[in-house]
Structure 1
Amino acid sequence: MGKHGLTGRTAGRRGLARATAVAVAVGLVGVSATAPARAAVEPYDPFDVNQGFSVLATGDAMLDNGELEGSVAAFGTVSTTRSNYPFIHQAAGDPDYTVPLVDGDPVRLLADAYVGTGGAAVTNRDDSGTIDPASPEATAVAKLADTSNLTASARGSNYTRLTNTEGGTLDLEELPYDPATWQSSVQTQEPTVADYFPDLDAHVAQTNQCLAAMYTDPALGNEVTVTGGGNEVFVSGFSSSVPNWIDYEDVAGQVIKLDDAGGYTPTAQAPLVVRVSDPTNTVGPLNFEGWNDQDLARYIMLDLSEVTSPVTVDGLEYGAVWAPGIDLTYTSSRTTNGQWFADDFTTGGADGTGGGELHHHAFLGQLLCEVEDAAPVITSQAAVADSADGLLPTDGGTVVDTVSYTGLEPGTEYVVTASVVTADGTDTGITAATTFTPTAASGSVEVEIEVTAEQAAAYAGQDLVIFQSLTAGGTEVATHEDLDDPDQTFTVAAIPATGGFDVVKAVEGDGAALVDPGTSFTVAWEVTDGPSTGRSGTLEVLGDGTVVEGPDDLAEGDVVTFTEVTPPVVEGTAPAEVAVSPETLTIDPAAPTTPVVTVTNTYDKADATFSLRKEISGDAAGLVPPGTEFTVAWEVTAGAGADVGESGTLTVPADGTPVDGPTLSHGDAVTFSEPELPEIEGVVWGTPTITPDPLVLDTDEPAEVVVDNEAVPEQLEGGAIEIAKTLDGDGAGLVYPDVDNPDCGPDGNQGGGNDPDCAEPPSYTIGWTVTDGPSAGRTGEVVVTGDGAVSPVPAEGEEPFQAGDVVEFDEPEGPGTDGAELTGVTFDPASVLIVPGPAETVTVDVTNTYDLDDATFTAHKEVTGPAADLVPDDAEFALHYEVTDGESAGATGTLTLPADGTVVDGPTLRHGDTVTFTEATPPVVDGVVWGDVAIDPETIVLDSATGPVDVTVTNTAAGVPALSSQVAVAGPSTTTVPGAGGTVVDTVSYENLVPGTEYTVGGLLVTPDGGSTGITGGPVAFVPTSPDGSVDVEFEVTVQDAITYAGQDLVALQAVWLDGEPVAVHADPGDPAQTVSVAGPAPTISSEVTVLGSDDKTVPLSGGTVVDTISYTGLTPGREYTVAGAVILAGLSTTGVVGATAFTPDAPDGTVDVKFEITAAQAAEYAGTTVVAFQAVFLADELVASHDDFAAVAQTFRFASPTPSPTPSPAPTPSPAPDDGGELPVTGPEAVVGILLVAAASLLVGTLLVTLRRRGLLG
């Protein structure tokens, strides 16, 4: 069956197609048709109207039955009162169907709206396992025309739940929840469901007419003959080549016998239609005897087209139901199979209870109808292409005329010509034609009519009508010319009155003179309201005030808004302020003059300024204190503004810090002077240099004025310098071990100098350079020691420094050591200015900072031992570390080591740190017992020179000891302890013990509920030679124990100890391998047979059932036994009739039934014979008890004798002869022989029953 795709059509097209179909159905003649009508018998399917839906309701659908295996569509609403009504694919029906497509999506539910308080779910469940998970049947959802009453939320695995305003829910399990898209996924593209079923009324009318014709025309349908009455009727006279029909009232409530039906079953070619006449308010089951295949529903149809009132369907199991315009209620608890077409459709009854399942079976029967081919008819639907308002623009365009036709001859070439006329029928001369060859009698074709701008202008504001003419071979076969048909009419837009505006630029402000009159300004305009809303543009307007014309074709009422695109930047001015007057205007074509929009830009001159900075040069510059201040005068000598003549002074520091000048104007010319200079000892000032001078201010380029003063020194001698070395940092002790020793250094020994035990201090060479002043360029060196002793600069006997000299220092690379790094050298002060006169000696402290090197370690895990494979690679172990000595002393932390041996980096510590390691409790791993941990090394001293030390942490994984056991009784029976007691040997198997270690194993016998018997085994000491092995423990069961626990099961529990502590226990009272039985009193059985339906225990010749009720004593409760029986002839030969039953007694004594099913053939074979039932009870294929007494009346029954046929004289009685495989009956006094025969028979029966049971032939 193909997919059914539903898409909507326009109302005009739908109305046309529906009217045309009705005309065809009732034989109307088309408009201006010239071709004659023809008649033909054609097959049709009434349920094509369903478009693949199981149920199509032209009203509302209320679903309260068990479930729907299929799909439903309702023109109205869908609801349910159930809490979870399921839409599924298959549970009990046939899965070989497809679901319809709506807007390209597979659906099981299509309705205008989902209402009510109930809950439903579209799950697509498929119990058959035959549909592809990606198929439409597995991914179907629901479509609703109106979703305004719904909200959506995520449920379960993020599928979509819809909730209506009444609280009802609809779950779509194949629609992932997306708050942005759920509504577009659920909402139909058409406004109503009816839009997806065009031509429905015509289809219904034609189907009803064809059905009515079938009941009167033998060529269209065969009436079935119905005879009989009472509770059953016979049907005959079926056709195998045309549809068959029968009246419902003739078969309602009857068993419909098919004895005379000639083997007929409904088919596609010869379906069965059941006509339901009016008045009928209830339709029940169709009881065709032997028609049990639900697939027959595809070829059976109930026709309710004559019924005029609501109908209840109760008990109908198969058949499609055709009930146009009728409200149907389906109330049966039976499942129904087929398709449905009705108005309102309700399941579950009016009270919301009952209702079986609905299974989809598409109607496949082909009914016959004599249809008159209609003469060609054409209609049309005109539409202006690309027009939102349906109007043809005044500049022309395309009109698409969709011409629909019926009654054409497929394969014949036709020409349809469209001619445009005015509303009064005047020809406009606008025409177009299309040639086409239809593939079906009905369809449509488009004619595109091109209207030029000249033609559109000629008919602006008018309605135009399109006439159509259809020709074939030059002969006109149909026309459509109706001036009043709105579908043929389109309108040309009117030419509106227009107007426009002009724009002019005005420039103002004190910077207006800086604006070039030829500067172009961009003014943007936009229609924000009115007929031309959205239209926009720009105009280029010059700064000289020239008026620029704007567009003059704007529509009356257009509201135009004006803005200026970013105004041009004019050098020397601040950003322009823009004013538009008016900002908006409304187009009035009747205005006497064109309105002018003035866009005014105000440009003001931009501010400008400068800064002053002092530079001191010359050999005596170092003598000038940084805080010295200088006064610089400024004056505006030229410019375009009012700043000319303005003047002032600025105070500028000698350290070079810039000083901001006043705020002036762009283009001002400023000059500078320095009237007075400060007096500084030892300094003679040269002539100041001012750059630039004069300065012209520019807003875009802020200027800096530099005033340079040369300082020339006086020739004067100055003071001296001394240098001392200081060692600092946590690594200083590695360079000079006695750096912190108070007895060492020049101040050690209470000022007496280095102690004799002090280490020799390291020496450093310090360089010095005169960088400025009279002695500039002079250099030298001095050696100092690391113990803080001072050294003079210059050395004794060298020429002293001159006043004004600036001395700076440097140190080449000094001594170092392993484990520490020289991280810095500082000079305090960094430079020394030599001042005139005998000043105090300046001490320069040179500090070398030594920092200890960083150092670290790594660690990894190794897992050994027999259970190492049980430890997962991602198991994690915690290694704790602590710095017990060194610079980082007190630091602690934990590293996480994975079991896979990955090397883990430790923290960053310091050279010389002492680190110790411990491990926390190892992780818990199933099946693993941890041994001791080994850490190598446990303590390390970090050495930055040798690199990180890798610490290996080794854990030994031993397996968890485990036990299992197998008990056996010493003696003939390994599972049962004799009544006189005996020995129970418990073979205990162990795993994961330590070889060479002495363990102790012991056991205890308990009852299945765990109660102790006090019977113990062991203890047994043993030393395993390997981790896995076994050891025996024996339990001695005394006579008294056997009496106490007679008939009961006992279970052996075991434990293994090491040094008095249990290491493994096996205690499962339900383990059969640990269980033995204690013999009880010998079981006994007896029996009594009953022949069902017979008071004298006689099996009729037609066969029957014999029930053998077996009474037993002494069985063990909770154990499964098998009781078997065989029917034996008096001669100890078996009849082949056997039976067996498996059972578990609740008590030692009770009864159990064995049934013998005797066929008619067996009853005939042994007719007139008396037989005995033997029985035996087995436990695990061992015989427990038997009952085989020929003399027991309770075990005896007989087979009925046949009714003798009359004969002239009886035939002589032959001597008895043995049956196949049997023996002659035994009579006479040979008692011993009889006993032996009984014993043999018993053995024979027992062996037979055991063999049959082992082969699975008995219960």
Structure 2
Amino acid sequence: MSCPRTLPPARARRWRARLAGAVAVLVATSGAVATTSAPATAASLSGNPLAGAAGFTVVSYGDAELSNHEIEGSVAVGGNVSVRTGQGPYNLIHRAAGNGDYVLPTLGGTPVRLVVGGFDRASSTQSVRVASGGYTDAATQLGRMTIGSTTGVGIAGRGAGVCVQASTTTDCSGPVIEQSAAPQTVAWTVQPTAFDTLVPTAARDTMAQWSQGIAEGRLVGAEAVTLGSTAQPMNGVDVTLVAGKVNVLRVAAADFPSTDWKLRFPTVKPSATTPLVIDVVAADGASVLLPMETIGAYDAPGGSSDNNFARYMLWNIDQAPGSTVYLSGNGIVPGSLLAPSSTVITGLSGPSDTSADKTLIEGQIVAASLLLRNSGEVHHYGYAASLEIGGGEGGFSLRKALSGIAAGDLPDGTSTQFSVDYFLDGATTKAGTLTLTADGTLVAGPQDLPVGTEVTFREATPSAPTGTVWTGVTFSPSTVEIADGDDVEVTVTNSYRAAVGGFRVAKALSGLTAADLPDGDDTEFAVDYFLDGSTTKAGTLVVTADGTPVAGPTSLPLGTVVTFGEPSAVAPTGRVWTGATISPSSVTITADGQSTLVTVTNSYRDAVGGFSLSKALDGIDAVDLPDGGATEFEVDYFLNG
């Protein structure tokens, strides 16, 4: 069994972007414009997700190109319709090979088979024939056509009905839209509001919400199923359904087989009580190869004219707005296609493909714009299962964590409180505040936030225990995107470090200038420093005579006492170093980031010397002198010559 690619569990934020303002509908460059406004929050829905299609087989909000074989059903186009097939007239009939057990939409009580905003006649190569062939009840199955704009065309009577033709043509020739089987007038044919009346904005909004809810995994009572082994795709790729559940197969486009394959339900089959929803996650321009056969689809009781599974299978095309998806395959695809924000191109695998695979679709199609380029047909099988989308609510919870300290280091220990604000969808005004405690207790935030809400957080700077510094807060995850039923746990981690400081040392001179020193300003002096009264130096800084401060260590804990000493100093010739004065004499680290400047001033004096004289007598003794040994003699001395 193959494993589908891992897909994001919640696509809320993407969908909020996709549906902000208006769901993208690729409208015609000319012709009617149909838009879909965005739901403000995820919607709760129940019923038929294609009810908004008003019973039409094909709905294109924008333009539609009809280049496949034919449609057994009805078509509503908000923009322009064109036909570019190389075969004969393009037929809209009631039934040939499909099942005709359906009734047409009605406009003012009148059955309609084709409703268009306009006719792109210049781009068309063939006619559209609204023939209603195969109907069995004229009151409900014989359809008319309407057009919203007559720009570039004229309308004339044709048979019982009308012909939309070139304004210069009177014989319904060339590319035209012809409805000649059912009675209608030219005046009634022009209905500028027909599309919006039958498929109004509210209906388009709702179908977009259905697609969104499926993509976000909000189907109530859903059972996830997987795509079986694709090793032998023509033998059948199994999808094992769970009876009585809404079975959801979420699969990336690239995980479908890349060659022809068949779909098989080995046990339980799709039914009204066991529908299958296939959420196809596709990038812009993705190619999806659809099954060429669903094994057992035409077994009894339906037989060859009734697909047993088509009414209970829904293909949800999960793309960003304005994206394009290519749907191809060489057989019959059961089920309806819901692609309200995509351009759907059938029968081709990509922009360079011209092969026009069969890709016969039995179901309904809803798309932003549509190009039917498959060689097969579209058969009406109205989606018939009832589904439910949950309103989509979720929430978050916060817990406090600490890094660098323990809760016991805080002023109130594990009971210390922290206030964390939370903000919704980018608002700068807080939506609320949660109070967390240092013991890590999980605190619940609101649990009723709509799916897709984006929650961010902020914590004011808390006080730090003495001797520590708060270095910031981290939120993991930093942003919460609300998913249905989730309670996302967010860890709010406060980080701390020890408060530390340091000092700087600069040299000053007294009694001389730096120019008197051997190396001038660059003369170096070694200054030792000692920590907390130790007699063993902790380190030495080398400072220069120019007075530039030199940083010592900056990571000394608060309370550290630093003292200094200069073991020796350089003295120039003729000078004597008389010692160093250190100011301040010691530094106590008292604040984080402290960098106290210590000035070590070296003092100098001139180097000096002298002489002494003594008297000696020759020929007499001191006693022979008048004052004896105390007799004084004056001796003059002279300096430098």
Q: TM-score range by the shorter chain?
A: 0.3 to 0.5
TM-score calculated relative to the size of structure 2 = 0.46
TM-score calculated relative to the size of structure 1 = 0.24
Larger RCO: 1 or 2 (CA < 8 Å, sep 6+): 2
Q: In terms of Rg, which structure is larger? A: 1
